[in-house]
Amino acid sequence: MSKLSQLFKEKPNRLCSVYFTSGYPKLNDTGAIVKNLEAAGVDFLEVGLPYSDPMADGPTIQHTSSVALENGINLDVIFNQLEAIKNDIHIPLIAMGYFNQVVRYGAEKFCEKCQSVGIETLVLPDMPMIEYENTYKALFAKYGLSNVFLITPQTSEERIKKIDEMTDDAFIYVVASSSITGAKGSISDEQIAYFNRIKSYNLKSTLIAGFGISSKETFDTVCSHVNGAIIGSAFVKHVGAHGVNSIDAFVKNIIA
């Protein structure tokens, strides 16, 4: 059983995940960020793999990716950073990047590296489902990697149920709005209706929402409708302004 599956078994609700951009604010901050987030009580982490064309990301994360790339971050550096701390980290690690990065790096080499550093789950928003089914599902399974698919308010019931069938040892990433990432002030009635519609399908998979969760209020609201939430833009903005030593206070303010 993967760490993520074990976590979901032990804690089915109010799951808190944080996305961070590797190599930001400084190139070598990754290890400190991971350790501080675990110590603060985050349930699992989304390790952002900076990319030059991050189509799903809003201005905040795009900016942090640009800074990280300028700092000299790349996949080899990230894997080396995670390798250095893997024996100190006990919560699940997810890699969030883009399919093109995997292809350019070499898919099998990428999977080998993920397995080596303790990454068990991947989020690749631009990977076509047919590519996953025909090629990458077997490759990921070879290295003990699960895949996370994203759904949006426009995703059909048929596709959502197919994604549910293909989701093993992971979760369905419920995109909370029809937009790129970015902090929002509140959760709308329209979004709540969307969450309730997804729940009405009685899916087997854990539902984790992302995009727009930025405060205790939005976290609590989302968690009353799905199993948990991912905080991204608000966190990278905070750590960029206040540094890695401010992480505990940020997390406690969200999940307290």
Q: How many CB atoms lie within 10 A of CB 218?
A: 23
248 included as an active-site residue: no
Q: Each residue of 148-157: pLDDT tens digit?
A: 999 999 999 9
Q: In this predicted structure, what is the pLDDT of residue 54? A: 58
- Per-residue model confidence (pLDDT) at position 181: 46
pLDDT tops 60 at residue 184: no
Residue 5 belongs to a domain: no
Q: Where are the alpha helices (DSSP H) in 179-232?
A: 189-199, 216-223
70 is catalytic: no
Question: CA–CA separation, 123 vs 214, rounded Å?
Answer: 20
DSSP calls for 60-111: HHHHHHHHHHHHT--HHHHHHHHHHHGGG--S-EEEE--HHHHHHH-HHHHH
- Structure confidence at residue 185 as a pLDDT band (50, 70, 90): low
Whether residue 221 lies inside any domain: the answer is: yes
pLDDT tens per residue, range 210-224: 988 989 999 999 999
Domain that holds residue 248: 13-149+213-255
Q: What is the DSSP letter of 58?
A: -
> How far, in Å, are 65, 128, 135, 175, 256 from residue 150 at the CA level?
21, 11, 19, 6, 28
Assess if residue 230 is contained within a domain.
Answer: yes
Residue % of the chain over a pLDDT of 90: 87
Vertex 202 angle, CA 199 and 206, to 5°: 70
Residue 122 resides in a domain: yes
With cut-offs at 50, 70 and 90, classify the pLDDT of residue 186: confident
- Catalytic choice (29, 57, 164, 169): 57
What b/e sequence results for 124-135 when a residue is b if at least 16 CB atoms lie within 10 Å of its CB, and e otherwise? bbbbeeeebeee
Is the per-residue pLDDT at 4 higher than 70?
yes
**Per-residue confidence (pLDDT) for residue 55, from 0 to 100:** 62
Domain assignment present for residue 206? The answer is: no
pLDDT of res. 163: 97
Q: Is residue 159 part of a domain?
A: no
The active-site residue out of 29, 38, 43, 46 is 46
**CATH number for 103:** 3.20.20.70
Residue 180 has pLDDT above 70, yes or no: no
CA distance 181 to 210: 8
Do the bridges between strand 150-151 and strand 228-231 make them parallel or antiparallel, or are there none, so unpaired? unpaired
Q: What is the mean pLDDT of the chain?
A: 93
Mean pLDDT for 88-110 is: 96
Secondary structure (DSSP) of 155-186: --HHHHHHHHHH--SS-EEEESSSS-S---S-
Residue 172 lies in a domain: no
On the 0-12 / 13-18 / 19+ scale of CB atoms within 10 A, 232 is: buried
Bridge partner residues of 209 (DSSP): 174, 229
Strand-pair partners of 92: none
User: According to the model, what pLDDT value does residue 52 have?
Assistant: 82
Q: Over the stretch 32-90, which tens digit does the pLDDT of each residue have?
A: 999 999 999 999 999 999 988 756 567 888 899 999 999 999 999 999 999 999 999 99
The number of folded domains in the chain is 1
